[in-house]
A and B are shown apart, each in its own frame.
Chain A
């Protein structure tokens, strides 16, 4: 007897509102003119405008978009500016767009924009990097990786609304292409946006989705990242058991041979700091700190080290960590991290009895958190500032020797320190997956 055919449910097309592309800058592409000098800035800016015009035009209208001879004039400009070798090829490819816009290859244009974005990012021109990556994503709407990169860059600049829309766009594009890596990365990124905003239930849902997808499609490393971020959410929600469990599972996934992510170590140490177990936290963070090249992770580690060393009574370590943080605070690409960072410094300074420094740091954290609409940090900064100002003597920030460190924590600290020693020669990546 023939089995009845199971009819597949028709796939519903998943739609989201078009992602936000406007910046705070009124003048189109003005960020590029600000971040670069000389005629190279003008050539980059014009190339960006050309791509945005092309990407926004309907296919049928593209043929007559640019004036005759515009491509040749652009090539002459590129020769005249003596652009760096790294960007000459992408600029030439964008000049070719002016010759025949009706037949231009979207993939090539997107690739040129990505190259320019990477070049700008390497020069700490984060706004320009974001603009070019956004141009790449608009040129190639099916490219989930580009959309995900835009989301990540926007998130790092504390533009959370924009980041959210681009991560959602990445999710749609990744699902359509069955690109489960980008799909997972986008949900991890979305989870981080919600975490920054203090929307912990939404963050948890996004990260659980990321974890499930990574598990289903055997994406081991991304599964670890989802677990690591779930650990962060649990720490912020005050669920220590869940946090430790998530991070242990993440460590299990990585294994001792895997170059240990500094983020993971930091997450563990930060949880201990919240419990007042400063000594093991200082031990781990001090080991991790010198190996880091990624500035993003250095901010996390330096601020946590400042808090932990303050709590442990180590003034020298505290001063070194704050000096490092001051250096990093000038980078606009790290803007989203600074409110939390200064709050940690405030706690560390208060633990050391340096009340003036504590008050300054807490006030800075509050000001930055208000500007960036980081609700959770704002509330914590207000409470900390009130505590410091109201009663400096009776401030309830824990002192160095007040809390006994449980044996399990000391054991885990030893375990992780051992792992760090084992991987001392391995490159400590320290970069987030998203």
Chain B
């Protein structure tokens, strides 16, 4: 897989802040300043879904008469974009902050507080896998265990950087062998397959946008070419990218992923008899105790005595 370097699209009047964003991007992000809202819209059209946008929510209006309607329009047009608003958060702005949340802004950077290069780098890092995580939260069934969900969410972060299986193990601070065991116990596919599914989900989300080419989608998701993406879709779904597009790419891939999860679910506990389970009900196993006559007497709940 190719490493993915997501772009950071910046539209902000504060020059010093722009410099700090540039330093924060260093080599992990592609720094792309734009000069107007229309330029930003155009850049977003061709940018991968992992692009991060940083804007002034007031649109450069220093008197702060109101939030920028251009920002509102942008978020309506690109509802899944990761947009970070950077401004000074003064008193009396509660309603405006609430509005930004309703519009779909992901995070705020408080100028003159959290606008150092280190802080901006942290904000970018934590925003990185957000689009796919948000999509997955809507897709994954609520019955999925916490452990499985935590591993899947870590996988989305790894996929967003074009990482592979050992990167997933590293991000979870375990060895690849431990990760294999975790995936097996959590009812997940093997790490390699899990990451492949995450990439396919990301690609499917992009494919649903008719303006994107298959090659563009492939490169944005870390595939080396459109052929590599086609082969991946055929291997897991037996469908071509265009066929997926016709029937709703993300929904189709998400359903197939759920099916794959059901297939790799762990066996029910009944198939693996354990002590303290239904096989040895609590009331059957005796516990020794002395009655007045010294005779043995069975007590319930004895299986849980240490």
Contact across chains for A56 and B92 when beta carbons are under 8 A apart:
no
A64-B118 in contact given A18-B150, A26-B106, A56-B126 (Cβ < 8 Å): yes
Q: How far, in whole Å, are A201 and B300 apart by their CA atoms in the complex? A: 18
A27-B107 in contact given A33-B97, A45-B97, A201-B278 (Cβ < 8 Å): yes
A67-B116 in contact given A215-B306, A249-B301 (Cβ < 8 Å): yes
Contact across chains for A28 and B114 when beta carbons are under 8 A apart:
no
Can you list, as one digit per residue, whether each of B135-156 has a CB less than 8 Å from chain A (1) or not (0)?
A: 0010001111111011101100
Instruction: State whether the Cβ of B70 lies closer than 8 Å to any Cβ in chain A.
Output: no
- Of listed B115, B281, B282, residue having the most chain A CB within 10 A: B282
With both beta carbons as reference points, the residue of chain A lying nearest to B171 in the complex is identified as: A18
Instruction: State whether the Cβ of A192 lies closer than 8 Å to any Cβ in chain B.
Output: no
From A16, A18, A38, A242, contact of B282 by CB (8 A): A242
- Enumerate B264-290 residues with CB–CB distance to A below 8 Å: 269-270, 274, 276-278, 281-283
Contact across chains for B178 and A15 when beta carbons are under 8 A apart:
yes
Bin chain A's interface residue count. 35 or more
- Enumerate A12-30 residues with CB–CB distance to B below 8 Å: 15-20, 22, 24-28, 30
Contact across chains for B137 and A22 when beta carbons are under 8 A apart:
yes
Q: How far, in whole Å, are A16 and B149 apart by their CA atoms in the complex? A: 12
A165-B306 in contact given A26-B106, A56-B122, A80-B91 (Cβ < 8 Å): no
Can you list, as one digit per residue, whether each of A57-83 has a CB less than 8 Å from chain B (1) or not (0)?
A: 100010011110110011001001100
Instruction: State whether the Cβ of A34 lies closer than 8 Å to any Cβ in chain B.
Output: yes
Contact across chains for A373 and B142 when beta carbons are under 8 A apart:
yes
From A33, A53, A67, A201, contact of B101 by CB (8 A): A33
- Of listed A66, A161, A246, residue having the most chain B CB within 10 A: A161
Q: How far, in whole Å, are A46 and B107 apart by their CA atoms in the complex? A: 11
With both beta carbons as reference points, the residue of chain B lying nearest to A31 in the complex is identified as: B101
Instruction: State whether the Cβ of B42 lies closer than 8 Å to any Cβ in chain A.
Output: no
* Chain A residues, Cβ within 8 Å of B269: 201-202
- Enumerate B244-299 residues with CB–CB distance to A below 8 Å: 269-270, 274, 276-278, 281-283, 299
Can you list, as one digit per residue, whether each of B85-123 has a CB less than 8 Å from chain A (1) or not (0)?
A: 000010111100110110011111010111111110011
Contact across chains for A66 and B146 when beta carbons are under 8 A apart:
no
Instruction: State whether the Cβ of B133 lies closer than 8 Å to any Cβ in chain A.
Output: yes
From B91, B112, B150, contact of A81 by CB (8 A): B91
Instruction: State whether the Cβ of B65 lies closer than 8 Å to any Cβ in chain A.
Output: no
Instruction: State whether the Cβ of B74 lies closer than 8 Å to any Cβ in chain A.
Output: no
Q: Which residues of B contact A (CB under 8 A)?
A: 89, 91-94, 97-98, 100-101, 104-108, 110, 112-119, 122-123, 126, 133-134, 137, 141-147, 149-151, 153-154, 172-174, 178, 182, 269-270, 274, 276-278, 281-283, 299-301, 303-306
5 further interface pairs, Cβ-Cβ under 8 Å (given A53-B122, A70-B112, A160-B146): A27-B104, A61-B118, A215-B305, A230-B301, A373-B143
